[in-house]
Structure 1
């Protein structure tokens, strides 16, 4: 019976999935940007200090 319902209304699972997938993707992207920022911070701060000292 559930197979019949999925065929008739396949969007039911998609609406539940997209409701939680979008914030999950946004969170993952935020964490990735923060990790890149943390890894680049020493090099960027050293370049800034070199520019100020020059």
Structure 2
């Protein structure tokens, strides 16, 4: 998922930052919670690492 976010930004010629990727993954996490009723552990870990937590 992180790689897909980076690819999306690169294809659009946009700057890639840890904060921006974490923001996008947070949005995906919200959708996962809406869909299955609980957070995705892998997404949660990726977001935490990108934020330096």
**Quick check: which has more Rg, 1 or 2?**
1
Task: Give the TM-score normalised by the residue count of structure 1.
Answer: 0.36
Name the structure where helix makes up a greater proportion of residues: 1
Which structure would you say has the larger RCO, counting Cα contacts within 8 Å and 6 or more residues apart? 2
Task: Give the TM-score normalised by the residue count of structure 2.
Answer: 0.37
